[in-house]
Amino acid sequence: MRPGHTPALAFTLLLAAVMPASADDLPPGITSAQLLPGHVAPDGTRITALDLRLKPGWKTYWRSPGDSGVPPQFDWSGAANVAQATPLWPRPEVIDSGGERTLGYHDRLVLPIALTPAAPGQPMGGQVAIDLGVCENVCVPVHVLLDLPAPEPAGAPADPLIAAALSRAPDQGNAALDCTLTDIADGVQVAAGLAASADPDTVAAMELAEPGVWVSQPDLRHEDGRLTATADFVGPTGKPFALDPAKVRLTLIDPQGAVEYQGCAG
């Protein structure tokens, strides 16, 4: 939803909280939520994953859901020895919600997360707080407080759920984007193009590696062997701002996979 605008599809919002230890008190749409033990990589990075199971017909959102939707937010301040946490997002589904296109997941989300220790070799533990949205006809903002379990012992087989989710991560494109930036009333419009062919069902997502910037659902055009994605970037001030082209990310998603392109050519 564009800041200051009313969404085309209105949802009833319910405030809910989920504590995995209390399975009888889960909010609508969720059947279970936990962090998987995962493993410690040879470089000391810990790989865990959020395992979120949804009831049939419910969905949750990708990191850049589109015009509407709530991307998950993670607070690791309650976890010990975690210097950095990086979600490794699997390719999202394209979901039609009453005529609005969003990007997210049905039924189950296994989201791998790479944890960098503050003190290498020391254990990690404690809790992570997660805020996310789940929707059917009603959208429910959910607060999840999850324990970080101990990892599997060294030499244990990799968790197949985590391995499968990692295999669905978008590929990294090596082409630089050709971008045009234009000031608009409440921000900056970015048109990002590259030489590429695409499946007719390809959709695009655009993001900015900067907090607090809302990005509209891109318009994707195919012409003369080029793809051009155009979206509005609206910052907290609701005015044009100094957008860094190097922080623009374009993801192209089709039924076979996804490819990410980072940064505009100078």
| Number of structural domains in the chain | 2
The letter for the amino acid at 18 is V
Each residue's pLDDT tens digit in the chain (266 positions)? 666 543 333 333 333 344 443 445 677 799 999 999 999 988 889 999 999 999 999 999 999 887 777 788 999 999 999 999 999 999 999 887 767 788 999 999 999 999 999 999 899 999 999 999 999 887 889 998 999 999 999 888 889 999 999 999 999 998 889 999 999 999 999 999 999 877 788 999 999 988 889 999 899 998 888 999 999 999 999 999 999 999 999 999 988 899 999 999 86
> Do 146 and 48 belong together in one domain?
yes
CB distance 103 to 218 below 8 Å? no
Cα-based distances in Å from 96 to 59, 109, 110? 11, 18, 21
What Cα–Cα distance (Å) separates residue 89 from each residue in 104, 162, 184?
Answer: 10, 11, 31
Out of 115, 149, 167, pick the residue that ends a domain. Answer: 167
241 and 188 in a common domain: yes
Query: Percent helix, strand, coil in the chain (nearest 5)?
Result: 5, 55, 40
Sign of the Cα pseudo-torsion (57, 60, 66, 70, in order)? positive
Same domain, residue pair 162 and 175: no
> Last residue of a domain, which of 148, 167, 186?
167
Residue 201 counted as domain residue: yes
Q: How far apart are CA 151 and CA 235, in angstroms?
A: 39
Structural domain including 201 reads 171-262
Do 158 and 241 lie in a common domain?
A: no
Q: For residues 204 and 249, state if they share a domain.
A: yes
Q: Is residue 2 situated within a structural domain?
A: no
Same domain, 76 and 153: yes
Does residue 247 lie within any of the structural domains?
A: yes
